[in-house]
């Protein structure tokens, strides 16, 4: 089976949906951010703070290229992974790419005032979400199959993705 790739903005449900998909399809879930944290023995926020976003994006690309070569895995990417063409090219070589999306207000509710979201540690996180979504939406839209996660549980989204994957076999 091809890989299933989950992209989308933070708070759209990539990790939670990935867990449900892994359970439903008996596949291994690879969360790129978690893999980076494990390899560097640092939280993403600390990597951003100590080394900056460009350094993090380089780590992210290296990790994506590594795991995109595997087969039969679910890969959950960070929200900015779509910004680099090389990331998307690697993910598409052996995978079906899904982009999860939700409204800015829903994203804010889901992410809250978490310290684990370095790009949202600003005075007006909703404005930042809108700004980032505005810049990233063209990349998300060409990433692959768009899946609306509004008012759906992670299991419902996972079942929707599983049905699409089964049809593409």
pLDDT at 1: 72
Q: What is the CATH number of the domain that holds 14?
A: 3.40.50.300
Task: Classify residue 54: in a domain, yes or no.
Answer: yes
Its domain, for residue 29, covers 3-158
The rounded distance, in Å, linking the Cα atoms of 32 and 57 is: 11
| Residues 79 and 8 sit within 8 Å (Cβ to Cβ) | yes
Structural domain tally of the chain? 1
Task: Classify residue 12: in a domain, yes or no.
Answer: yes
Task: Classify residue 169: in a domain, yes or no.
Answer: no
Query: Any idea what DSSP says for residue 102?
Result: -
* Sequence-ordered strand ranges (E) for 72-142: 73-76, 95-101
pLDDT in tens, the chain (169 residues): 789 999 999 889 999 999 999 999 999 999 999 999 999 999 998 998 899 989 999 999 999 999 999 999 999 998 889 999 999 999 999 999 999 999 999 998 888 755 666 566 677 888 988 999 999 999 998 888 999 999 999 999 999 999 999 887 6
Task: Classify residue 32: in a domain, yes or no.
Answer: yes
| Residues 161 and 98 sit within 8 Å (Cβ to Cβ) | yes
The rounded distance, in Å, linking the Cα atoms of 157 and 134 is: 23
Task: Classify residue 142: in a domain, yes or no.
Answer: yes
SS3 of residue 122 by DSSP? coil
Task: Classify residue 39: in a domain, yes or no.
Answer: yes
Strand 73-76's sheet: what is its strand order?
28-31, 73-76, 3-8, 95-101, 145-148
Note if the pTM is more than 0.75: yes
10 Å Cβ neighbour count for 14? 29
Task: Classify residue 118: in a domain, yes or no.
Answer: yes
pLDDT at 35: 96
pLDDT at 121: 67
Task: Classify residue 167: in a domain, yes or no.
Answer: no
pLDDT at 124: 83
């Amino acid at each position: 089976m091809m890989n299933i790739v989950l992209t989308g903005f933070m708070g759209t449900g990539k990790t939670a949906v990935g867990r449900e998909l892994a359970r439903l399809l008996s596949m291994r879930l690879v969360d790129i951010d978690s893999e980076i944290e494990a390899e560097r023995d640092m939280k993403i926020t600390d990597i951003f703070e100590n080394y900056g976003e460009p350094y993090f994006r380089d780590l992210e690309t290296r990790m994506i290229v590594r795991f995109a070569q595997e087969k039969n895995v679910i890969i959950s990417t960070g929200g900015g992974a779509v910004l680099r063409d090389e990331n998307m090219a690697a993910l598409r070589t052996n995978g079906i790419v899904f982009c999860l999306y939700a409204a800015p207000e829903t994203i804010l509710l889901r992410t809250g005032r978490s310290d684990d979201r370095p790009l949202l540690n600003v005075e007006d996180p909703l404005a930042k979400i809108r700004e980032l979504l505005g810049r990233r939406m063209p990349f998300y839209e060409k990433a692959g199959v768009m899946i609306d996660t509004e008012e759906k549980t992670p299991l419902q989204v996972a079942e929707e993705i599983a049905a699409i994957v089964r049809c593409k076999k």
